[in-house]
């Protein structure tokens, strides 16, 4: 019965007359530059790259490079593959049990910053259990001496409470110094937990490499509802909704928010540091309002209180413009692209792309290049890839590597026409 009032609350907050307004692309009272909407961008007619198919997978989700330029590729049903640059695939055993359904399954894979010494590999996945699924973070040791295997697999962190719903998040990025692991935790289609400081849903977490709350986090050592930018019930909201909001703010016993780095995320499906050490995140919005965010400690990014999109039942959501409690996205997409994957490019194969970020578009069936001027971002180019793009990574060879979504999803290598 817990989910019902939370979903009701999410709906009540979105009712007309709750102070909501349609997206105002340029109106803002805040000091930050107004984010730009790139919903009308049209794909470029020609592509400045060659595209080669390297291998095909069953619902691939993520890829990670090993120091020897081989890759690990996850498949959502639970497969993990060791893949050579030429596309030879070997199955890796030892993957924990996952629940493959809807948006759930085996999700992200990342090699540890100290992989050369430890051979540690991190996985995220929807872990089945009593009460439903929860996002889990596990770590194992990759043994490639014989048949490839993950050994000594340990679950380091679990998203609680378990339950129904997609939108797991599950992306990992490591701090440039290699000491901390940042993990996106989606709000599981439950709305208000994204603003609840005592639930690690709708958050970006900062953990040690062992999965513990990292020292120096904004709420280290605290429990209770002291989160920055906590919800004020909108002025016109009915008494029942106000009471529900206050109830949602009540601290839950035995939970600690000490993992939390930032708050108010919906479904974060991309997380990466740029060359200057800034952390960026892409996030799926509702109807409209997909976001690119610059992530800062203690920031509240607004979901489900504010968004440049509207709810799926067409009820409006208040605009973030001019609301000092919430961080504005650096840019947003209406209509959506359904962003998946975020990779900064600093390679040599495409000199013009150095400093750019690349985002895959699921709904847009496109690859998007984002250019930056300091912390101001703009969509610079978009190419129609003819398939839902699930992941994008910059390879150590200077090429861009993409995964398509779906049961015959291809691993693509994008190279310069001038490269051999
Ligand atoms: Ca937001």
CA-to-CA distance for 165 and 196, rounded, in angstroms?
17
How far is ligand 1, taken at its centre, from the CA of residue 112, in Å? 29
How far is ligand 1, taken at its centre, from the CA of residue 328, in Å? 6
116: preceding bond cis by omega (within 30 degrees): no
How far is ligand 1, taken at its centre, from the CA of residue 194, in Å? 11
Res. 216: pLDDT tops 70? yes
- CA gyration radius for the chain? 21
How far is ligand 1, taken at its centre, from the CA of residue 266, in Å? 8
**Residue 1 forms part of a structural domain:** no
How far is ligand 1, taken at its centre, from the CA of residue 221, in Å? 26
How far is ligand 1, taken at its centre, from the CA of residue 304, in Å? 8
How far is ligand 1, taken at its centre, from the CA of residue 200, in Å? 17
Res. 420: pLDDT tops 70? no
How far is ligand 1, taken at its centre, from the CA of residue 257, in Å? 20
**Residue 377 forms part of a structural domain:** yes
CA-to-CA distance for 195 and 233, rounded, in angstroms?
12
Q: What residues pair up with 347 in beta bridges, in sequence order?
A: none
CA-to-CA distance for 179 and 115, rounded, in angstroms?
13
**Residue 275 forms part of a structural domain:** yes
Indicate the average pLDDT of the chain: 86
User: 296: domain range?
Assistant: 6-415
How far is ligand 1, taken at its centre, from the CA of residue 330, in Å? 10
**Residue 393 forms part of a structural domain:** yes
Q: How many domains does the chain have?
A: 1
CA distances to 16, 49, 66, 330 from 413, in Å = 47, 10, 16, 28
How far is ligand 1, taken at its centre, from the CA of residue 324, in Å? 13
**What pTM was computed for the model?**
0.86
Q: Where residue 61 falls among pLDDT bands split at 50, 70, 90?
A: very high
Res. 403: pLDDT tops 60? yes
CA-to-CA distance for 295 and 280, rounded, in angstroms?
6
How far is ligand 1, taken at its centre, from the CA of residue 145, in Å? 45
How far is ligand 1, taken at its centre, from the CA of residue 236, in Å? 22
Domain with residue 220: its CATH number is 2.120.10.30
CA-to-CA distance for 142 and 152, rounded, in angstroms?
9
How far is ligand 1, taken at its centre, from the CA of residue 284, in Å? 9
Higher pLDDT: 336 or 9? It is 336
Name the range with the highest mean pLDDT among 17-21, 155-159, 215-219, 303-307. 303-307
Q: pLDDT at position 223, please?
A: 53
How far is ligand 1, taken at its centre, from the CA of residue 321, in Å? 11
**Residue 135 forms part of a structural domain:** yes
Q: What is the pLDDT of residues 90-133, one digit of tens each?
A: 999 999 999 999 999 999 999 999 999 999 999 999 999 988 99
**Residue 16 forms part of a structural domain:** yes
How far is ligand 1, taken at its centre, from the CA of residue 4, in Å? 24
How far is ligand 1, taken at its centre, from the CA of residue 378, in Å? 17
**Residue 187 forms part of a structural domain:** yes
How far is ligand 1, taken at its centre, from the CA of residue 162, in Å? 24
Bridging pattern class, strands 290-295 and 366-373: unpaired
3-state secondary structure 97-141: CCCCECCECEEEEEECCCHHHHCEEEEEEEECCCCCEEEEEEEEE
Q: What residues pair up with 208 in beta bridges, in sequence order?
A: 180
CA distances to 83, 347, 397, 401 from 419, in Å = 22, 13, 11, 15
Q: What is the pLDDT of residues 229-280, one digit of tens each?
A: 233 333 333 444 444 444 444 334 335 578 999 999 999 999 999 999 999 9
Res. 31: pLDDT tops 60? no
**Residue 420 forms part of a structural domain:** no
How far is ligand 1, taken at its centre, from the CA of residue 332, in Å? 9
């Amino acid at each position: 019965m817990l989910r019902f009032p939370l979903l009701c609350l999410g709906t009540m907050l979105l009712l007309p007359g709750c102070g909501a307004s349609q997206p105002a692309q340029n109106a803002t009272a805040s000091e930050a530059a107004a984010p730009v909407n790139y919903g009308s961008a049209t794909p470029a007619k020609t592509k400045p790259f060659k595209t080669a198919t390297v291998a095909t997978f069953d619902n691939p989700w993520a890829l990670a490079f090993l120091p020897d330029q081989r890759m690990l590729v996850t498949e959502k049903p639970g497969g993990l593959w060791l893949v050579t640059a030429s596309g030879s695939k070997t199955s890796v055993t030892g993957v924990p049990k996952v629940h493959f359904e809807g948006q759930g399954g085996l999700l992200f894979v990342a090699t540890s910053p100290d992989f050369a010494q430890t051979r540690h590999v991190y996985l995220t996945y929807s872990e089945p259990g009593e009460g439903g699924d929860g996002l889990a973070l596990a770590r194992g040791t990759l043994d490639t001496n014989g048949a490839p295997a993950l050994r000594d697999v340990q679950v380091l962190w679990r998203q609680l409470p378990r339950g129904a719903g997609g939108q797991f998040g599950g992306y990992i990025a490591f701090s440039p110094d290699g000491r901390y692991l940042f993990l996106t935790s989606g709000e599981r289609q439950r709305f208000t937990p994204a603003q609840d400081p005592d639930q690690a849903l709708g958050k970006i977490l900062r953990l040690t490499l062992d999965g513990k709350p990292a020292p120096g986090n904004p709420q280290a050592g605290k429990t209770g509802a002291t989160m920055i930018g906590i919800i004020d019930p909108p002025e016109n909201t009915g008494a029942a909704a106000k009471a529900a909001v206050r109830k949602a703010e009540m601290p839950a016993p035995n939970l600690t928010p000490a993992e939390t780095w930032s708050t108010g995320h919906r479904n974060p499906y991309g997380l990466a540091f740029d060359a200057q050490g800034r952390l960026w995140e892409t996030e799926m919005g509702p109807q409209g309002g997909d976001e690119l965010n610059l992530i800062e400690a203690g920031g509240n990014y607004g979901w489900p209180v504010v968004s440049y999109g509207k709810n799926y039942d067409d009820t409006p959501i208040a605009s973030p413009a001019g609301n000092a409690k919430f961080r504005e996205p650096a840019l947003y997409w209406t209509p959506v692209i359904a962003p998946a994957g975020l990779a900064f490019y600093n390679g040599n194969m495409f000199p013009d792309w150095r400093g750019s970020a690349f985002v895959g578009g699921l709904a847009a069936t496109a690859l998007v290049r984002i250019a930056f001027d300091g912390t101001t971002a703009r969509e610079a180019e978009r190419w129609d890839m003819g398939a839902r793009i699930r992941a994008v990574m910059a390879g150590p060879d200077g090429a861009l590597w993409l995964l398509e979504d779906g049961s015959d999803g291809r691993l693509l290598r994008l190279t310069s026409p001038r490269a051999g």
